Structure 1
Amino acid sequence: MKNRFLSNILLTFIWVAITGSFEFANYVFGFILSFIILYVITQGRGSAKYFKIVPKLISFILFFLYELLKANLQVAYDVITPTFYMKPGIVRVPLDAETNLEITLLANLITLTPGTLSLDVSDDRKVLYVHAMYISDKEAFIKDIKEGFEKRLLEILR
């Protein structure tokens, strides 16, 4: 997997050097083009884990940016309006994440999103305690974390 990633980066830089355009869009296009070329060349050889993880990773980054923007707008709207719409609370989120890395990454992603803060993990590492500013439906909040951040994160890490 490491070799394919390095090959992808090398082909991207070759593409950028050949085209002579050092703009961000050209790097992105070069990365996508070299990803497709590597996929076609190595199809049917060895494990294809790299070709499964990269699209999931890009999808995860876009999902996180969307959630980050949505949470920022919600908090900013609540701050600039005279009426507070906050319904704060602490929620127990059951975890499917098992390793320290998985739990730490999930907790950090939740904390990075405005309006939520990871507080603690239970001693048996089965529950994450999260403080949230907007909890109108506890079950929906838990479902959003489980089917959003945790599911996508575990798809990449496992």
Structure 2
Amino acid sequence: MIKQFLMNLLLSFIWVALTGSMYYTNFVFGFLLGFFVLWIMNRNDIDQRYFYRVPKILSFVVYFLYLIIKANLQVAYDVMTPKYFMKPGVVRYPLNAKTEFEINLLSTMISLTPGTLILDISEDKTTMYIHVMYLEDAETFVKQTKTGLERRLLEILR
């Protein structure tokens, strides 16, 4: 998988050098073009993990940016209006993530989203306690986080 990623980077650098245009959009286009070329060349290989993970990573980045923008707009609206709409609460969140790396990455992603903060992780690493600034329903928050952020993150890592 590392070999395909490095080859993809090399192809995108070659594309940038051949076109003579040093813009990030040209690099991204070269990366996508290299990804397509590598996919065509390696269709019959046994190891296809790279070609499944790259689209999932891009999808995760777009989804995470959507979450951050949505939460920032919600907090900004609450700050700018005279009435506060926040309903703070602490949620007990059962974890599907098992390894320390998965738990750490998930807790970092949740904490980066405005309006949420990780308070604690249980000793047996099965539960995370999250402070949520705009908590309508704890079960809805847990369900949305499990089916959204945690599921997508674990698909990339596993």
| TM-score where L is the length of structure 1 | 0.99
The residue number in structure 1 matching 2:13 is 13
How much does 1:46 deviate? 2.7
CA distance in 1, matches of 2:92, 2:148: 16
CA distance in 2, matches of 1:129, 1:144: 16
CA distance in 2, matches of 1:51, 1:35: 8
The residue number in structure 2 matching 1:92 is 92
Q: Which amino acid aligns with 1:67?
A: L
- Could you report, residue by residue, the CA deviation over 1:13-35 in whole angstroms, capped at 9, with x for unpaired residues? 00010011111110110000000
The residue number in structure 2 matching 1:38 is 38
Q: Which runs of 4+ in 1 moved over 2 A?
A: none
The count of aligned residue pairs is: 158
How much does 1:45 deviate? 1.1
Q: Which runs of 5+ in 1 are unaligned?
A: none
3-state DSSP of counterpart to 1:91? strand
Q: Which amino acid aligns with 2:89?
A: G
- Structure 1 vs Structure 2 CA RMSD: 0.6
State how 1:99-110 maps to structure 2 within 5 Å: 99-110=99-110
The residue number in structure 2 matching 1:123 is 123
Q: Which runs of 5+ in 2 are unaligned?
A: none
CA distance in 2, matches of 1:23, 1:46: 35
CA distance in 1, matches of 2:142, 2:15: 44
Q: Which amino acid aligns with 1:43?
A: R
- Structure 2 residue 83 is matched with structure 1 residue 83: yes
How much does 1:144 deviate? 1.3
State how 1:58-69 maps to structure 2 within 5 Å: 58-69=58-69
3-state DSSP of counterpart to 1:83? coil
CA distance in 2, matches of 1:95, 1:24: 37
CA distance in 2, matches of 1:45, 1:111: 39
CA distance in 2, matches of 1:130, 1:157: 22
3-state DSSP of counterpart to 2:7? helix
Indicate the percent of aligned positions where both proteins have the same amino acid: 55
CA distance in 2, matches of 1:153, 1:119: 20
- Structure 2 residue 145 is matched with structure 1 residue 145: yes
The residue number in structure 2 matching 1:2 is 2
How much does 1:155 deviate? 0.1
| TM-score where L is the length of structure 2 | 0.99
The residue number in structure 1 matching 2:53 is 53
CA distance in 2, matches of 1:117, 1:104: 13
